[in-house]
Amino acid sequence: MTAAHETDWDDVQLHVVTGKGGTGKSTVAAALALALASRGKTVLLCEVEGRQGIAQMFDVPPLPYEERRIASGPSEGGDLYALAIDPESALLEYLSMYYRLGRAGKALDRFGVIDFATTIAPGVRDVLLTGKVYEAANRNKRSKNAREYDAIVLDAPPTGRIAQFLNVNSELAGLAKVGPIRSQADTVMTLLRSKRTAVHLVTVLEDMPVQETADGIHELRKAGLPVGGVVINLVRSKELDDDARDDALNGELPREHVVKVLERAGIKATEPLVDGLLGEAPAHAERRALEDEQRERIVALQVPTYELPRLPDGVDLGGLYELAADLCEQGMS
Ligand SMILES: Nc1ncnc2c1ncn2[C@@H]1O[C@H](COP(=O)(O)OP(=O)(O)OP(=O)(O)O)[C@@H](O)[C@H]1O
Ligand SMILES: [Mg+2]
């Protein structure tokens, strides 16, 4: 169920979240999933790297290979489910679905066949992971006992590996180039390349992550994968407006400006405090100038952008809801 509300991604069902390591992919994926749930959607948040990041963020026990309800949206009651996908379980499920292997599948597992298939055969691992996401995205009323999701959010591998991860077709080797794995890969690719999918990139306002974002967008486009938005995470609040920033850069920030800002914030502008701030101002302004430069590079990429603040006390569950509300407000969901 979707609220009568326009967002930048109304037609998108599968949101893939990537970005440079440590920039906040998992945090943003979780916040986006909550934001979609807050719009009344039934949402599935998936992780594929075996790190149990979702369980940690939502403060629940480690997730099994089974969809678990972990939260409801802040209003309107959309439910959020989570799933940790690992290639071994996905392969066993796949075998039991296609070959009705049942217990025989478990035996394969014991003999190490599953390990072999998921670690040795290049590309098969990724087909299994994305294949499970595909399965969850394609349920309908006829799918027995299966929950239908309005939206799926995937906490995906980092930018450096994302095109390869999603571009499962070209990665298959040997036996997997023909037969059922191949046709599974083809079906998955059809979803991943369609308008139902958007690959969002998370970044921070620093040179390397922004460069990786630009490169990532280029790679995705080259692979025919749909680029979504850029989420700028960990944004510091703007203590100085642009004019004040320029003054501070030149060491010419007027004393009265600092006094005025402090008074507006209800802080007593004592002489040592004002002196201290004036002393720090050039360094702060310099950092701001660098960040503004990175922001311009991101704008030049010409995709929708969203900003999330650096939460001063880190991200707890309350913080996730705050970030979710920010994404809603900016039209990401
Ligand atoms: N907006 C924010 N404000 C404050 N802390 C944040 C914010 N976003 C992320 N963090 C913190 O930064 C750290 C890294 O975030 P996260 O785990 O989401 O990044 P990641 O890109 O998924 O990392 P990895 O590459 O290791 O998977 C975490 O401790 C997280 O709580
Ligand atoms: Mg992560």
Give the C-alpha separation, 59 to 74, whole Å: 17
- Determine the 3-state secondary structure of 332 from DSSP: coil
* β 43-47/151-155 pair status: parallel
Give the C-alpha separation, 196 to 10, whole Å: 9
30 CA: nearest ligand 1 atom: 18
pLDDT of residue 176: 66
Cα-to-centroid distance, 4 and ligand 2 (Å): 32
233 CA: nearest ligand 1 atom: 1
Residue 6, both tokens: 């326009």
Cα-to-centroid distance, 231 and ligand 2 (Å): 15
**Which residue's CA lies nearest to atom 26 of ligand 1?**
22
Phi, psi of 109 (to 5 degrees): -60, -45
Give the C-alpha separation, 66 to 316, whole Å: 24
Cα-to-centroid distance, 157 and ligand 1 (Å): 14
Cα-to-centroid distance, 23 and ligand 1 (Å): 6
Nearest-5° angle of CA 314, CA 66, CA 191?
85
Give the C-alpha separation, 192 to 267, whole Å: 52
Give the residue, out of 16, 18, 26, with the most ligand 1 atoms within 8 A of its beta carbon, to mutate for a pocket test.
Answer: 26
Give the C-alpha separation, 197 to 11, whole Å: 9
Q: Which residues line ligand 1 (CB under 6 A)?
A: 19, 21-27, 158, 233-234, 308, 310-311, 314-315
pLDDT tens-place values along the chain, 333 residues long: 444 568 899 999 999 999 999 999 999 999 999 999 999 999 999 999 989 999 999 999 999 999 999 997 656 568 999 999 998 888 888 877 776 666 666 666 666 666 666 666 667 888 889 999 999 999 987 777 789 999 999 999 999 999 999 987 666 766 667 777 788 888 899 999 999 999 999 999 999 999 999 999 999 999 999 999 999 999 988 777 888 888 998 889 999 999 998 999 899 999 999 999 999 999 989 999 999 999 999 999 999 999 999 999 999 999 999 999 999 999 999
> Which residues have CB atoms below 5 A from the ion given as ligand 2?
25-26, 53
Question: What pTM value is reported for the model?
Answer: 0.90
Residue 150, both tokens: 């309005």
Give the C-alpha separation, 32 to 78, whole Å: 13
Task: Return all residues near 148 (Cβ < 8 A) that are at least 6 apart.
Answer: 42, 139, 140, 141
Q: Which of 13, 49, 43 is nearest to 31 (CA)?
A: 43
Give the residue, out of 16, 18, 20, 27, with the most ligand 1 atoms within 8 A of its beta carbon, to mutate for a pocket test.
Answer: 27
Cα-to-centroid distance, 54 and ligand 1 (Å): 12
Q: Give me the amino acid identity at 11.
A: D
Q: Could you give the count of Cα atoms lying within 13 Å of 11 in the half-sphere of its Cβ?
A: 6
pLDDT of residue 3: 46
